[in-house]
């Protein structure tokens, strides 16, 4: 379905507004269903303190499906579990 068809069904003439609403609707759809799932990979780095183990979520993320880590013993990505509370940082306490 084209943007023009949507505009005609709505009887509106503002193309920019129609495109903006369509983008909003797609965002809502992605937020409620799994219409299009993407994946991205990052290098894991050896961490020595609480700033090294921090990875930024993708900026275009709408909803998170799962997080996996590569098991180098069999080269497969395996889903890991989420902690509900953040562990304490002994390293930061020892070197304020």
Partner 1 sequence: MSSYVDKEWFYYLRGREILLYKMQGGSSGQRITQSGVFQSYDKELMYPNEDIADGLRIEYTRVSEPFVAEALETTTAYASGASFIFQDTSTAFFTGSSDIDFSSSGNRIITFDDTSKYFYAGQSIVISGTSSNNGTFTVATVASSTQITTTQSLSDESNTSAVFKSSTGAILGGTAGTNTFTDFLASDKIRVRGSSSNDADYTISSISSNGDALIVSSVPSALESAGERISITQIPLEDDTPDATSHINLNKMLCLAIIDYCKAMLAEKNGEIDKKEYFMKEFYSKLGDNDSNKRNISVTFPAGPFAVK
Smallest distance from partner 1 to CB 94, Å? 10
Total residues belonging to the chain: 96
Query: Quick check: 96 binds partner 1 (CB under 8 A)?
Result: no
CA 48, 49, 53, 57 torsion: positive or negative?
negative
Q: 3-class DSSP state for residue 6? A: helix
85 binds partner 1 (CB under 8 A): yes
Rg (CA), the chain: 21
Considering the rule CB under 8 A, would residue 95 count as an interface residue with partner 1? no
Structure tokens at 81: 């579990």
Residue 54: CB minimum distance to partner 1, A: 5
Our finding on whether 78 is near partner 1 (CB under 8 A) is yes
Binders of partner 1 among residues 38 to 77 (CB under 8 A) are 38-50, 52-58, 60-77
């Amino acid at each position: 379905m084209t943007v023009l068809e949507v505009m005609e069904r709505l009887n509106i003439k503002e193309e920019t507004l129609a495109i903006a609403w369509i983008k909003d609707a797609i965002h809502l759809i992605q937020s409620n269903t799994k219409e299009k799932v993407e994946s991205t990979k990052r290098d894991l780095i050896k961490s020595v303190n609480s700033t090294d183990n921090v990875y930024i979520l993708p900026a275009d993320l709408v909803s998170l499906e799962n997080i996996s880590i590569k098991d180098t013993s069999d080269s497969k990505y395996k889903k890991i579990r989420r902690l509900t509370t953040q562990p304490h940082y002994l390293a930061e306490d020892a070197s304020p």
